[in-house]
Structure 1
Amino acid sequence: MLFRKISALIEDHLKSGTEKILLVDGARQVGKTYIIRYVGQQLFQNFIEVNMVEDSLGSRLFANTKTVEDFYLQVSMLAGDRMKERENTLIFIDEIQAYPHLLTLLKFLAQDGRFTYIASGSLLGITLAETPSIPMGSIRKVRMFPLDFEEFLFANGMNDLVIASMRKKFERLESLDQAMHDKIMDLFRKYLLVGGLPDAVNSYLAEKNIQRVREIQREIHDYYAADASRYDEERKLQIRRVYDLIPSNMENKKKRVVAKDIEGKKGKTFADYQDEFEYLISAGIALHVQAVSNPVFPLIESAGKNLLKLYLNDVGILSGILYGNNIRAILDDVRSVNLGAVYETVVATELAAHGHRLFYYDNRSKGEVDYLVDDYDSLSVAPIEVKSGRDYTIHSALNSFVKNEDYHIKRGYVLSNEREVSVKGKIVYLPIYYIMFFQN
């Protein structure tokens, strides 16, 4: 079984006795159902799972369930013999977005308190926004992502002792020894190929067959692109067009979404595609990075809406699109191949999985810095520059950024393939894999 850090959060919540219902959001195929089922079956003698998408396509028992009593009646038809006491009965409402009215019902189920509940779904941001009565105060919503690099290390045999040792070295700004660096870099490059989608990781661990891994990634990518069932055909096509443009945008110098390129129509603006962006972001299949020209803490107060970058939610999907079954470009670190898009994507996925909102610095005269994150310890901003090549010490925009006294920058970071950790002025040079410790 794959180790997932969110399992501890789920377990703690279910053991806490709180009346709030945990609602796990996230893209499809990231492992929500599996991990909830695993934890739930470990903790509760009576585990009842109801998949609302399956119900909506079949018997539709819950289609018109509006009261607590009706909900219990429908559940009893499926698993009445397992409906015991709150302490030993967990009802798992999976794919709850299929019936938005059940989100409102969560409030009353929580108040009734007859059983313990947990729910999961995708597109919950959009669904909640369209729900007439949002169950605020009755739910705790958390987002689940594909496996991050730390979880990938565990999947490949690393243990707590090794990870804890690496974390200490990161905190002390110390380098790994050469042998350990080579081992972690080898696994990091394999992570760039495999990514963090559980089916792809399990396939890689079992077979070590890149063609099979790529097949799984293509299937999921195609599924993501096609899954916009809530919209009409025109909106579906536009969503797919925006999604399909993400890899090619990554190959451009600016990497931004250009509104007029989406349909090839002049005069189109970001406002014309607000629903499309919202769908991709809320579905968890794209990560958005907002532009900031005045980087003051907290960054959300000065974020722009019209200079947007979108990244795929999984680096393995991107590397498959860009390089197919040819793994040498990444594993051999071929000089002629620019891995900038892949490195920037993996940093975006790591930061997002660790709770950071994503921003980048944009200044017409001084250039761009790849990422900005809020530094809550110093109440300032931490800039991050990502380098895939050997010119990792060249970063004029970052130099200007950290020198600007108006920004009050305490420390900036450059991530690259280099093993040695070093500090030059306000800039810290780190190996790329240390991004796994940038926790919010």
Structure 2
Amino acid sequence: MLRRKALERLAAWKRGKTTQALLVDGARQVGKTTVIEEFGRTYYEHLVELNFIDNPEALSAVQKANTADDLFMAIAAFAQDELIPGKTLVFLDEVQACPDVVTMVKFLVQRYGQYDYVFSGSLLGTGLRGIRSVPVGFLDSFTMYPLDFEEYCMARSVSNQALEEVADAFRNRRQVNPAIHQRMTDLFHEYLIVGGMPAAVDAFVKTHNVQQLRLQQQSIVDQYRRDISQYADNLADARAIRRIFDLVPAELSQQNKRFRITQVSKGTRLSREEDRFLWLADAGVALPVYNVDEPRYPLMLSMNSRLFKLFLNDVGLLTCMCGMDVIRDLLNDRTDINYGALYENAIAQELKAHGFNLFYYKNNSIGELDFVIEYPHGYIRPIEVKSGKSYKRHSALTKALYTENFGIHKGTVLAETNTQCEGNIDYLPVYMVSQFRNE
């Protein structure tokens, strides 16, 4: 069983909740159902689970419910375990197939509050849109992502002591123990191939067979393409969205990594095309990184919603879509290839999983900053990601640091190096992105 941080998030909800149910959403295949089932078995004597895709009869019964009594009766009718007050978790899975059940949660917990309720669903573009705020005060929620790098390290049997060594080195801006640094660097390179999709990680950990890994990853890619066909509003949208999804690897290999709308479909209104890009983001399949006009706090005020880079939700899927030759090159540690897109994709998904909004900055006179993040206490951190040995060449970062009105005091370069701090720039090993949430 893979160790997931989401399990502690679920446990914290149980400890602190009053009348709230919980909604866990996220892209397909990120492990929502498995974690909730483990939570139910660990913290409750009884687990009642209904899956609205696997059990169409239960779906039909729930859809006909007009009151909390009707809904609870439908749940009880299809329950495979006992409903014991105070000892039972009611888990309703794939609720995007029946979003109305979530909007009735207020009445359900008021009428039958002696049970705990967890809902889970795949985002799939529009299925759960708007539900997070309905009804106010009766629904907690969080989004699950693929395994982050620390979770991957735990799956690969990295000790807590080694992880703490990395955390302490980050806090004190000192070098990581050389042996641990090499181990973490090797694992990060491996993570670029495997990614964080639980099925793919599990297959690789058990077999170390790259062909089995690719079968799992390709299955997920194919599932995403089928979801687009099934859940997009119409055939034209489905074709355009699939086109965007398939183009992500090619676009990320370009120097500016930005899409041109004419490459997707000609003669389409800009607003229509934006909706198609956002469909992938809403489905959790892709991660948009938005341009800001200025890298100043708060970044949201200068965000340009029509200018963005698009990464996949999992770097392993990106590597799979790039083909077997890229995997062979990574395994052979080829140094003459630009892996920048893979590194940046891994950084984007790590930042997103840790709660950061994703922005970048580009200006003709200054250049481009790969990522710009902000912390709640009001300061900005520009980040450059370097996959090669020339990581101390970063003219855009240097110019941004010396642009007075930006108010940026320190910059970060994530690279193939152990920790080095020179003036107002921290050169950190690329795997230390997992520690940014702790600062």
Does the 8 Å contact 1:25/1:124 carry over to 2? Answer: no
Q: Which residue of 2 aligns with 1:273?
A: 273
Cα deviation, 1:282-338, whole Å, max 9, x if unaligned, reads: 111101100002122121121111111110011111112224165342133312211
Cα distance, 1:79 vs structure 2: 2.2
Once residues 247 and 49 of structure 1 are traced to their aligned partners in structure 2, the CA distance between those partners, rounded to angstroms, is: 38
Whether the 8 Å CA contact 1:170–1:434 is kept in 2: the answer is: yes
Change (3 A) 1:311 1:382: same
**Aligned counterpart in structure 2 of residue 236 of structure 1, from 213, 235, 238:** 238
Name 1:184's counterpart in structure 2. Answer: 184
Q: Secondary structure at the match of 2:284?
A: coil
What secondary structure, in the 3-state scheme, does the structure 2 residue paired with 1:327 have? helix
Q: Where do residues 385-400 of structure 1 align in structure 2 (5 Å cutoff)?
A: 385-400=384-399
Q: Deviation at 1:270?
A: 3.8
SS at match of 2:360: strand
In structure 2, the residue corresponding to 1:415 is in which secondary structure? strand
Figure out how many residues of one structure are paired with residues of the other and give that number.
435
Determine the C-alpha separation between the residues in 2 that align with 1:327 and 1:162.
27
Map 1:166-205 → 2, pairs under 5 A: 166-205=166-205
Listed one character per residue, the Cα deviations across residues 154-189 of structure 1 (whole Å, up to 9, x for unaligned) are 011112222112100111111123222211111111
How much does 1:107 deviate?
A: 2.0
Do the aligned residues in 2 keep the contact of 1:23 with 1:140 (CA within 8 Å)?
yes
- Asked if 1 retains the 8 angstrom alpha-carbon contact of 2:124 and 2:284, the reply is no
Q: 1:36 to 1:132 in 2, by over 3 A?
A: closer
Q: Is this contact kept in 1: 2:93–2:119, CA < 8 A?
A: yes
Question: Cα distance 1:348–1:59, how it changes in 2: closer, same or farther (>3 A)?
Answer: closer
**1:123·1:279 contact (CA, 8 Å) conserved in 2?**
no
Query: TM-score when scaled to structure 1?
Result: 0.94
Aligned AA for 2:191? Y
Q: RMSD of the TM alignment (CA)?
A: 1.9
CA distance in 2, matches of 1:431, 1:132: 37
The aligned amino acid for 2:263 is D
Kept after mapping to 1: 8 A contact 2:274/2:306: no
> Is 2:18 aligned against 1:13?
no
- Cα distance between partner residues in 2 of 1:295 and 1:54: 47
Shift of 1:58: 7.4
2:137 equivalent in structure 1: 137
Using the alignment, how far apart are the partners of 1:223 and 1:369 within structure 2?
Answer: 34
1:262 aligns with: 264
Partner of 2:36: 36
Matched, 1:158 2:158: yes
Alignment of 1:32-71 (within 5 A): 32-56=32-56, 60-71=60-71
Alignment partner of 1:246 is 2:248: yes
Matches within 5 A, 1:96-107: 96-107=95-106
Which letter does structure 2 place at the counterpart of 1:243? F
Which residue number corresponds to residue 423 of structure 1?
421
| Corresponding letter in the other structure for 1:175 | Q
Contact 1:128 1:134 in 2 (8 A): no
User: Match of 2:347?
Assistant: 347
* Inter-partner Cα distance in structure 2 for 1:401 and 1:133: 38
CA contact (8 A) 1:287 1:311 kept: yes
CA contact (8 A) 2:132 2:141 kept: no
Deviation, 1:59, is 6.4
Partners of 2:399 and 2:208 in 1: how far apart? 45
Distance in 2, matches of 1:17 and 1:184, equals 37
Contact 2:165–2:176 at 8 Å: present in 1 too?
no
Q: Distance in 2 between matches of 1:81 and 1:269?
A: 52
Shift of 1:81: 5.9
Query: Which letter maps to 1:435?
Result: V
User: Take 1:314 and 1:410, find their aligned partners in 2: how far apart are those partners?
Assistant: 31
Pairing 1:438–2:436 present: yes
Q: Are the aligned partners of 1:186 and 1:331 in contact in 2 as well (CA < 8 Å)?
A: no
User: What one-letter code is carried by the residue in structure 2 that aligns with 1:165?
Assistant: E
Identical counterparts, % of pairs? 37
Change (3 A) 1:276 1:351: same
- What is the deviation of 1:434? 0.6
Unpaired stretches in structure 2, ≥5 consecutive residues: none
SS of the equivalent of 2:8 reads: helix
Unaligned 5+ segments in structure 1 are none
Residues 5-49 of structure 1, C-alpha deviations (whole Å, 9 max, x = no match): 110010121233421111111001000000000011111111100
Task: Report deviation, 1:124.
Answer: 7.5
